């Protein structure tokens, strides 16, 4: 039996804003029950993501984007089981387009659908302000985090509750 929904934050707590996926997922876990929320250090456990596709019907996956001009800017891509030709719909060069771990995360999403996953995935990228070494978000991202959380709460609530 598949559970309804899961919020997953991906990132590295020791690389400043790379942890934004983890921070946002932690704050948004109140939207779903604790058993439906997962926090995830992507580098250590990337292949465990497939287990979530087996357990959950809907997955909101949050990660950092590389710093450019607007810390906190949100980029979203949604996928569902009826997507055909997923690899053709993605840009030829997708590295860093939706996530700092884009090649791994998109490969994981593609693999799940190729293996028959019929659920939905919302891949959410949040632009970082800095990616130096150290714990804690950068001042630039910390300043806009409340607005990012507000926007994402509305989007993720709609995504997780649609159809249930």
Residue 69 has pLDDT above 90, yes or no: no
CB 75 within 8 A of CB 31: no
Q: Which pLDDT does position 123 carry in this prediction?
A: 85
CB 75 within 8 A of CB 65: yes
> Could you tell me the domains of the chain?
3-161 (3.40.50.1450)
How far apart, in whole angstroms, are the C-alpha atoms of residue 158 and residue 19?
24
This model's pTM is above 0.85: no
Q: Which pLDDT does position 139 carry in this prediction?
A: 94
Mean pLDDT for the chain overall:
77
Q: Which pLDDT does position 32 carry in this prediction?
A: 63
- Within the chain, residue ranges assigned H as helices are 20-28, 42-45, 49-55, 86-89, 102-114, 139-161
Residue 26 has pLDDT above 80, yes or no: yes
Burial class (CB in 10 A: 0-12, 13-18, 19+), 30: exposed
How far apart, in whole angstroms, are the C-alpha atoms of residue 116 and residue 73?
32
Among residues of the chain, what percentage have pLDDT more than 90?
14
């Amino acid at each position: 039996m598949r559970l309804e929904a899961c919020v997953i934050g991906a990132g590295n707590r020791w690389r400043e804003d790379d942890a934004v996926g983890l921070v946002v997922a932690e704050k948004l876990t109140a939207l779903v029950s604790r058993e439906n929320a997962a926090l995830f250090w992507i580098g250590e456990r990337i292949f465990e993501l497939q287990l979530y596709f087996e357990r959950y019907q809907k997955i909101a996956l949050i990660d950092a984007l590389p710093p450019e001009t607007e810390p906190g800017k949100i980029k979203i891509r949604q996928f569902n089981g009826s997507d055909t030709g997923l690899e053709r719909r993605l840009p030829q060069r997708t590295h860093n387009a939706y996530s700092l771990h884009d090649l791994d995360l998109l490969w994981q999403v593609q693999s799940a659908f190729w293996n028959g996953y019929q659920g939905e995935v919302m891949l959410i990228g949040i632009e970082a302000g800095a990616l130096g070494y150290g714990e804690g978000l950068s001042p630039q991202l910390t300043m806009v985090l409340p607005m990012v959380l507000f926007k994402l709460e509305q989007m993720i609530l709609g995504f997780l509750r649609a159809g249930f």
